[in-house]
Amino acid sequence: MQTSKMVSDLSLVAIDSKGAASTTKDDSGDDYFMKLPQSNSQTPHMQSVGYFAIDENLRRALAREMHTTYSVDDSELPFQVHNYYSLSPLETVEAYTPGSVKQQAIKAQSISDGRHYTLNRIAGLQSGQKPELGVIDQWRQVQNPNVAHVHEAFITHAFGDNSLVVVHDYKPLAASLVSKIAENQVPASEGFLWSIVLQLTSALSAIHAAGLAVHMLDAATVLLSPTNRVYIGSGGLADVLSMQISPSIEVAQQSDLRSIGQILRVLLNRNPENVVAVQGQPPMVMPGLAYSAEFKELFRYLNHHVTPVITVEDILRLAGSRVLAELDAARRETDLLLDNLRLEMANGRLVRLLCKMNFITEREDSAGDSKWSETGDRYLVKLFRDYVFHMVDESSRPVANMAHVVGNLNRLDAGSPEKVMLMSRDEKSCLVVSYSEVKRCIEGAYQELVPSAQAWK
């Protein structure tokens, strides 16, 4: 095994005094986790290895979402319903309308496109009840980041009864406000309540502009994600069930807007300071002393029928500068995601380099020459591969140094003129070449393979 050393310092990544980055496993048993030691000797131009990878908090959040998305819990649900399979129960909530509707949320994967969706099931339809499935075409046109998009609706007997299923986008780790409150996972700050109001207002504005109404908007049908994103998850259910809840669409839309006030009452009711006891009357929920005058005015507007008609414009006027705060938060999140996307795009270039290197090394050519990868430019590629991945220390122990790998692959991708010393495994030959020369060798050898690869198809 080789013990090659670089001619120039590794300035793109920070390593410890032994030339190796420390690696540990985190407490959760997560995938490979790297943590570099803190060193006062790190110069300003040096970057930690984390600089080249996705933000750790974001990576863990996405990993949790992915794990949740692809896991399937044991249940008595059928394996396949309609065009969806691998059914897994999410939660069952009861939405209160005139009467009540028990709604079971089920995660499932589509046969058509492989994506995951939420199947919102209403069980036990009466034999004479005929849902209006055609109204889903109107709901399908509603596009808003705070509305779980509606895809289709169908009747099925796969659950052993006559069930209605409305298919929405699946939102990983999102759950109803009711369950989040029960698990004490809902913030109590005024800023969070303003965010809830503005997100629901945005969603209702899009729904009402399409000439529709939710009809059954409450804490059971509003979803909350771990990042405090709010989604209306019951779009289309009331319409499909032909519930004559309101005499007109205008009245139904007013009921939707007043439901925001009802949701605020549920959230405020968790704190005894927001409950006012009046002699001879049921306790009243009112924002306590900790809340601003603007929020109290909004609460009265939504709950006390100060005006006969509630409008989106009035809600935004009362929100004032909070709208800008919500926009700023959305833009900061966008900037974070774009910054990490750029890093992953760069990492994608390194993956392509690795693929080309592995296409070349340890293989024969199309004519059957077993020494093809050991001669000419291909041999230089092999030496570089060994230098990056097969290093050993002074005691011939393997060195798994991610900082070394990332730094060298970045230099190779950039075609750096810096020199690197490559040594054969028997240490009898030594070459000093630039990264740009190694890159040219990789591209040349890969292009030799391409015509043959086309012929193999």
Distance CA 140, CA 138 (A): 5
Q: Which two tokens stand for residue 329?
A: 């938060």
Share of the chain above pLDDT 70, in %: 84
Q: How many residues does the chain have?
A: 457
Write down the pLDDT at residue 56.
84
Q: Write the DSSP string, 221-285.
A: TEEE-TT--EEE--TTHHHHTT---SSSHHHHHHHHHHHHHHHHHHHHTTSGGGEE--TTS--EE
397 CB burial (10 A radius; 0-12, 13-18, 19+): exposed
Question: Do 8 and 411 contact (CB within 8 A), yes or no?
Answer: no
CA dihedral 196, 198, 204, 208 (to 10 degrees): 170
Query: pLDDT per residue over 352-389, tens digit each?
Result: 899 999 998 888 765 667 788 888 888 899 999 999 99
Report which residue type is found at 451: P
User: Between the CA of residue 77 and those of 93, 113, 115, 162, 270, what are the distances in Å?
Assistant: 17, 22, 19, 14, 34
CB 186 within 8 A of CB 180: yes
Q: Find the mean pLDDT for residues 25-50.
A: 47
CA distances from 457 to 448, 450, 452 (A): 16, 11, 9
Judged by average pLDDT, the poorest of 25-34, 40-49, 135-144, 414-423 is 25-34
Note the pTM of the prediction, 2 decimals: 0.76
Q: Write the pLDDT tens digit of every residue in 246-258.
A: 678 999 999 999 9
Query: What Rg value do the Cα atoms of the chain yield, rounded?
Result: 30
Mean pLDDT computed over every residue of the chain: 84
Q: What is the per-residue pLDDT for 76? A: 92
Q: What is the pLDDT of residues 298-344, one digit of tens each?
A: 999 998 766 788 999 999 999 999 999 999 999 999 999 998 888 78
> What integer pLDDT is reported at residue 35 of this predicted model?
45
